[in-house]
Structure 1
Amino acid sequence: MTIELNIPNMACGACGETITTAVKKIDPTATVQADPKTKQVKIETKASQVAVESAITAAGYQVA
């Protein structure tokens, strides 16, 4: 499943790495493409969107 999210407070590459780590904790096989310039994250995962959003929120980022 492909999930595309807007993360308004993602400011830099390190933020993208933190989000990637959070997603990979719930699905180690997930692929994450984070673009701080557009604030967009594209995730290919087997996890549910609710689980992904929860993981990102727990890492300290807003999901819009």
Structure 2
Amino acid sequence: MTLQFKVSNMACSACSDTITKAIHTVDSTANVQADPKTKLVNVETQAAESAIKAAVITAGYTVE
């Protein structure tokens, strides 16, 4: 399934790397595209949306 959500406090490429790593702790095969300019994260995953969002929040980011 494909998920898209906004992460308003993602500011740079280091942030997108941190978010990608956090998502990979939930689903190591997830395809993650995190764009700090648009603040959008697109995830192709088999994991539950709630688990993906929880990983991003745990990494210190705000999911809208």
Counterpart-to-counterpart distance in 1, 2:14 and 2:4 = 19
Summarize deviations over 1:8-45 as a string: whole Å, max 9, x none. Answer: 00000000000000000010000100110000000000
- TM-score scaled to structure 1, two decimals? 0.98
Where do 5+ consecutive residues of structure 1 fail to align?
none
How many pairs align?
64
Counterpart-to-counterpart distance in 2, 1:53 and 1:26 = 10
Say whether 1:39 aligns with 2:42.
no
Q: What secondary structure, in the 3-state scheme, does the structure 2 residue paired with 1:14 have? A: helix
- What's the C-alpha RMSD, in Å, of the aligned pairs? 0.4
Counterpart-to-counterpart distance in 1, 2:54 and 2:3 = 13
- TM-score scaled to structure 2, two decimals? 0.98
Where do 5+ consecutive residues of structure 2 fail to align?
none
Following TM superposition, the consecutive aligned residue runs of length 4 or more in structure 1 with deviations greater than 2 angstroms are: none
Name the aligned partner's letter for residue 33 of structure 1.
Q
- State percent identity of aligned pairs: 52
Counterpart-to-counterpart distance in 2, 1:41 and 1:53 = 10
